[in-house]
Amino acid sequence: MGIVYVVWGSTYLAIRIMVEEMPPLMAAGTRFLTAGLLVAGALTARSGLRRLAVTRPQLLGCALVGLLLPALGQGMVTIGESGGAPSGITALLIAAVPLWVICCRIVSGERPAGRMLVGGAVGFGGVAVLITANGLGGSFPPWTIAVIVLASASWALGSWWQPRLRLPRDPFVVVVYEMLIGGVLLVIFGLATGEQFDPSTYSARSWAAWAYLVLAGSVLAFSAYVWLLQSTAVSLVATYAYVNPLVAVVLGWLIVAEPVTMSTIVGGAVVVLGVAVVVGSELPSRTRRPTPDRKIR
């Protein structure tokens, strides 16, 4: 959880730097393709090629999540930032992921605990304060807002759906196929929209951001995220979206001098409170021992 909380918070700034010169879809696509190949190579070297064997239903499940998470989720974030969305505000909008996850649970017939609903409402209220304090004009065109909101909804749907799909039991094999399929889809989308990827024309700054996204953002953090989805409750995992914005805002202030006002500090504190409530409501259900008359979900 610490890796997902901190590393992903830093990727918003890295994406902003990467797309200063690189086309968004092709950059994101090559990022995930490279990361997927690196993880596949590591698994093969450790356990042999047979470790990557999957059935057709498992491959289809990986393809669906690859579409929702890397392709649509990360792809639309990259497009939004390339269109002028500041990295900090982008992270704040993505913080709506836990709210979308709770909506998915309700639509599917689940009844989340009241404390969790309160925590989600509190956290989203903090996000609203942060967005209002920073404003949505000028450098943040309306279409980029819509794209990032769709990215948030897509990421939440993929996160909620993944534990319900028929996937390989090895979470790192899941990582390989999700990143490879998502990377291929992003490259296809990029080519279809006329993007061109010319490696020789990009600066060391852009390549450094791209490499950071490959190694830290994808190989390390995305692998940790997929492992968590198969190991704990999705509502608990989704709380990363409340912490990531705080990391992104601080990095934006330190590196590109984005202003941090008192309203931002207050809104951030409310977000952290929402995280504490949601985490506190989920942990007890995973620590109590089941009894004959009580089912643990």
* Lookup: tokens for 41: 């190579």
Instruction: Output the pLDDT for position 291.
Output: 38
pTM: 0.83
Residues recorded for the chain: 297
pLDDT in tens, the chain (297 residues): 889 888 988 999 999 999 999 999 999 999 999 999 999 999 999 999 999 999 999 999 999 999 999 999 999 999 999 988 878 778 877 877 777 887 888 888 888 778 888 887 887 787 777 667 665 554 567 788 789 889 989 998 998 898 889 999 998 999 999 999 999 999 999 999 999 999 999 999 999 999 999 999 999 998 888 888 878 877 677 777 778 878 888 887 788 776 667 776 787 778 778 777 776 676 544 444 443 333 333
Rounded to whole angstroms, the Cα distance separating 26 from 33 reads: 10
Q: Which of 241, 236, 239, 223 is closest to 297 using CA atoms?
A: 236
For residue 291, the cross-strand partners are: 294
Rounded to whole angstroms, the Cα distance separating 119 from 272 reads: 10
**What CA–CA distances, in Å, run from 110 to 102, 104, 107, 147, 297?**
9, 9, 7, 28, 10
Residue type, 11: T
128-139: burial string, b at 16+ Cβ within 10 Å, e else: ebbbebbeeeee
If you search the block for the tokens 């952290």, which residue do you land on?
Answer: 272
Rounded to whole angstroms, the Cα distance separating 264 from 162 reads: 33
